Structure 1
C-alpha cells in the first residue's frame, strides 16, 4: 500500500478492475450515514498529495481531503452502478431481452461492498441484483443508497432514461429514507394499549408528503408515457433491533418500548399506513401496479442483514414478488431473428 499517494494514482487504481478491490480495501472505509444509506470515505491515516508535491508539502489528511478528491469518493461509491451500466450496455441490444428501468434507494442499490479474496462483491444482493440475474431482462439501474423520493421527483433522472431506452417497465422504490431519517424525532413515550401513541402526529403528515411526491411522479409518467408499465412497492415490515441506531434504539431509549413484540407492532402500524397510501394512489391507474411486500420477509433475524435491509435470502423472497408481477404485466420481447 502506497501512502502518501497522489490523487491521480488513487484514481487510476479505482479505474482499473484489477486493482479496484485492493484500493477500496486499503484506502477507503464504509460509514453508515442514515437508515438507508452510507458512503465510502478515505481512511483517516491515508495521505493524498497533489501530483508534483514534494515531501509532506501538499499532503492533506483524510477528513479535510473530501473537497479535493470528491471525484475519487464518487468513484468509490459508484462502482456497483458502473458495473450495472456495463451489463446493461451489453444486454440492451439483445432482441430477446425486456428493457426495464429501475430507480430507488438501497433496496434497489445496496451500496456496501465486501472483499472476497482479491475481488470486491456486493455485501448484500438487493432486488435489482436478482432482476439483473434473470436472463429475460436488460436492467438500467438509476438507484442510489439514500435516495429520497423528493430528490427522485425533482431531479427526474428517470425521465431521460425512459426517453432514451424505451423500457417496457419502470420500477420505483422510495420513501423509506424520507420517513426513517426523521423517525427518531417522531418517537415519544406512549402506552402499549395504543401503539400509535408512541408516535407524534407528524408521522402521518410525513407519509402524506411522501405520497404527494409519488403523485407528482405518477402524473408525469402516465401523461408522457401512457403505455409504460409502472411498478411501486411500500416495503415489508422491517426488523427493529436493540442495537439499531435508526429504529430500534430510538424506540427503546425515547419511547420506552422495552418489548420486542411492541417494537414490531409499531413498525407494522407504520408500514401498514405507508403501504396503504401507495396502494390507494396506484389503484386508479391502469398501468400502475402496487406490490404488497408485507409478510414476505419474516421479522426474524435469520432473514435480515440489519434492521432496514433483508439479507440475500430475504431479498430473494422480495425479488420473486417483483418477477412474478413482471411476468403478469409484460409482453415477452421479440425473439432474435435467425439467419
Structure 2
C-alpha cells in the first residue's frame, strides 16, 4: 500500500542545507532533517520548508496554500517557532541576571511569554487559514515541538545565557531553563487541539537523548528516530 503524500512547511528541523557532517556547528550541518527522514521511510513529500524561517514568515508568505492545492495532499506537517524565540540572541532579553537561589520560572521576564503568545497566535492564524477553507477540509495538520536542547557556547542558547551570568558553571540551571521553555512550547501547541480536534501534536521531548549536533539540531541518527516517531501519527 502506497504511503500518503505530505506537504512539509517549517524551519531547519524540516529542512536543512546539506553542508555535511564536518560543517561548523553554527550552520546546523547534520546533512539530515525530518523531511529526509520521512522520505527514507517511503513517504512522498513536497518540502517547502526553509532553514531559518520563522512561523511569522511562514504566515506572511503562505506558500503552503499553493503546495496543498497543487499536490492535493491530505497531510500537512507544520513546524516552526524556534527561530521566532531564539533568533538573533533574543533569549538574553527574556532572562534575568543570575542570582543564587532564584527559581527557574523566576528567571523569565514577561517578554518570553509575550513572544510565545505571538508564536501561538500565528499558529492559530495558519490553522484558521487551512481549516476554514472548504478545499482543505480533509487535510490533517501535524505540528510538533522541539526536544530539550543542550546549551553550548553558541549564539542561540549558551551565549545568551552566559551574557546573563548563567554560564557553563551552572549546567543544571541551564538545562532547567531549556526544559521550562520547551515544556511551555509543547504544552501550548498541544492546547491548540481544543480548537481543532483534528490537529495532531507530535511530542519529541526526551527522544534525542543527547544526540545533538549543535544547540538546535539533532544528529542524523536522532532525526531518524524522530521521523519514525512522527510517521506513527500519519
Matched, 1:279 2:190: yes
Within the candidate set 246, 253, 256, 2:156 is matched to 246
Q: Which residue of 1 aligns with 2:208?
A: 297
Over aligned residues, Cα RMSD in angstroms? Answer: 1.8
8 A contact 1:304–1:311 mirrored in 2: yes
8 A contact 1:198–1:255 mirrored in 2: no
Q: For the structure 1 residues 115 and 263, does the alpha-carbon distance in structure 2 shift closer, same or farther, using more than 3 Å as the test?
A: closer
Aligned length: 222
**Distance (whole Å) between structure 2 residues aligned to residue 96 and residue 249 of structure 1:** 46
Runs of 5+ consecutive residues of structure 2 not aligned to the other structure: 23-28
Please give the residue correspondences for 1:1-339 in structure 2 after superposition, counting only pairs within 5 Å.
96-114=2-20, 123-135=30-42, 137-181=43-87, 182-191=90-99, 192-224=101-133, 225-241=136-152, 243-257=153-167, 258-298=169-209, 300=210, 303-326=211-234
Q: Which residue of 2 aligns with 1:15?
A: none
Larger Rg: 1
What is the TM-score with the length of structure 2 in the denominator?
A: 0.89
Q: Which residue of 2 aligns with 1:46?
A: none
**Distance (whole Å) between structure 1 residues aligned to residue 79 and residue 165 of structure 2:** 28
Residue 169 of structure 1, CA deviation: 0.1
Larger relative contact order, structure 1 or 2 (CA cutoff 8 Å, min sep 6): 2
Cα offsets for 1:284-338 (capped at 9, x unmatched): 323211111111112x2xx000011010112122112111111xxxxxxxxxxxx
Cα offsets for 1:50-93 (capped at 9, x unmatched): xxxxxxxxxxxxxxxxxxxxxxxxxxxxxxxxxxxxxxxxxxxx
Cα offsets for 1:21-48 (capped at 9, x unmatched): xxxxxxxxxxxxxxxxxxxxxxxxxxxx
Residue 112 of structure 1, CA deviation: 4.3
| SS of alignment partner, residue 232 of structure 1 | strand
Q: For the structure 1 residues 115 and 175, does the alpha-carbon distance in structure 2 shift closer, same or farther, using more than 3 Å as the test?
A: closer
